[in-house]
Chains A and B, each alone.
Chain A
Amino acid sequence: MAEEKNDFKKKLKVFTFKALKATIKGILVYAVYFVLWMVLAPISTYVPSLQQIVETFFIVYITLMIIGELTSGTIFQHFFNAAKALFVVGYLILSLKGGVFGIMFQNIYVTIDLRLFLATVMLLSLLGLAKSVLQAVNYMSEKTEIQRI
C-alpha cells in the first residue's frame, strides 16, 4: 500500500516536472512570438491575414510542443516532435503559397519571393525530423537493450 502511494507520488512528481518544463518552454516560445509580432505588426496593416497565419502557426506549434513534453520518456514524444517538424514544413508551404506570394495594395501589386527562405526552413525542419527519427530509433534500441538485460 505504502509502495503504491510512493509510486503515485513519484509519478505525480515526474508529471509535475514535465508540466513545468512544458509551461516554461511554452512561455518562451510565446515570448518569441510576442517579440516577433512587435516587429511584424507594421506589415500586418498591409497583409490583413498575416496575424491569423502567425497566430495559427504558434498555437499549433506550442500545442505540439507541450504534448511532446508531456509525453517525454515515451515513444510518443518522438512522434510529436516529428509531427512538429512536418507541420512547420507543411504549414509554411501552404501559408506562403509555395514561396512566392503577392499582395494587392491599392493599385500596386507587391510580389515577395521567399523561396530561398522557405528552402532553408525546409532543410532545417528536415534536420529536426531526422533528429526525431534518430531519437525514436535510439529510444527503441535502448528499450530493447534494457529488456534483454
Chain B
Amino acid sequence: MQIPIRMIGLATTFFWIFLIAFFVTAVYSVKDLHFDFGEPQGNITPENQATISIPISIQNNGLCKISAFKIITEISDNEGHLITHGLTYIPVINKDEIVDTAHTMSIDINEFLEKNRNFLFNDAELRIYETVGMRIADFIPVQASANLSMPWGAPLYNFALGTVEYTMFNSTHIKALIPISFENHAFFDLVGNIQVQMYNSANISVAEGQTSLEAYRNSPYQGYIELYILTTEMPESGRFEVYLSTPFFNYGPLVMPYG
C-alpha cells in the first residue's frame, strides 16, 4: 500500500505546484495588461444615425492570453428604458499582442426623439451601464461594471412663442409677427423648417406661415414667423400649432393657446 500512497502524494504535490504557479502567473499577468480608451468621436450618418465611437487599444504584455474580451454599453433614460446598446467582442488577445479596435454605438435620432418627445424640450441625465469582461488564461473570468451618467441637452430647450405683434398689412390682411425663442442644448446643429398654423376658437385654420431654422449647438435661437390673416377672420382667441422639420427629426403639432 506504500507505493500507491506515495504516488498519490507525488501527484498531489505536482498538481499543487502547477496550480499555484499557474494561478499566480495568471493574476500577475493582469498587471501587464494595458487599456487605452481614446476620445469618443461623434458622427452623424446621412441616414440620421448618430454614431458614437470610442477607440480602444489593448496591450497584452502579460504571460497569459486573454480570451472572450467584451465591452458592453447600455444607454437608458431615467426610467430605465433602453435607448441604445453597443457590444465589442474580441475572441483572443495573445500575449505580446496589441489590439486596436473601436467600441461603437449608434442611435437613430429621429426614432429616438419621436419616441421620447420629452428629450426635445428638457435636458436630462442618461444612464450608462458599462461592462468590461474577459477570461484570463481561459481559466479565470473577470468582469468590471460601472454605472455612469451622461447629460442630454435638449435641442428645443425653453421653446416659447412670444407675444404676437399685429400690424395692418393691407386693406384685406393683418400681419402677425410671432417671436420664437429656444436654446439648442444638443450636441448637433439644428437646421430645418418651422411651420406655424393659427386656429380660431372654432377650430378653423385662419393663417399659416413658415420660416427656416438655423440653431447652432449650445447657443440660443431667436427668430420670427410671419402670418397673414384676413381682417374679416381675425380671431380673438384660439391656438397655434407648431410643426418642426429637421434632418434629424420631425415634430408636431405642438399646441400653444393664445388670446
Contacts and interface: CB of A to CB of B under 8 A. Distances in A.
A82 B92 CA distance: 41
Interface stretch (B134-142, B160-168, B211-219, B223-231): B134-142
B110 to A, nearest CB: 33
B195 to A, nearest CB: 46
A129 to B, nearest CB: 10
B12 interface: yes
Interface stretch (B16-24, B53-61, B244-252): B16-24
Given A39-B24, A131-B12, A111 B5 contact: no
A124 B19 CA distance: 10
A110 to B, nearest CB: 5
B148 A131 contact: no
Contacts of B24: 36, 39-40
Given A39-B28, A120-B19, A127 B142 contact: no
A141 B31 CA distance: 52
Contacts of B146: 107-109
A138 B140 contact: no
Contact of B27 (A43, A120, A128, A131): A43
Interface residues of B, number: 27
Interface of B: 1-2, 4-5, 8-9, 11-12, 15-16, 19-20, 23-24, 27-28, 31, 139-148
Q: Which 8 A-B pairs have the closest CB atoms?
A: A113-B141, A131-B8, A138-B1, A111-B143, A108-B146, A110-B144, A127-B12, A39-B24
18 contacts: A32-B20, A39-B24, A108-B146, A109-B146, A110-B143, A110-B144, A111-B143, A111-B144, A113-B140, A117-B140, A124-B12, A127-B8, A130-B8, A131-B5, A131-B9, A138-B1, A138-B2, A141-B1
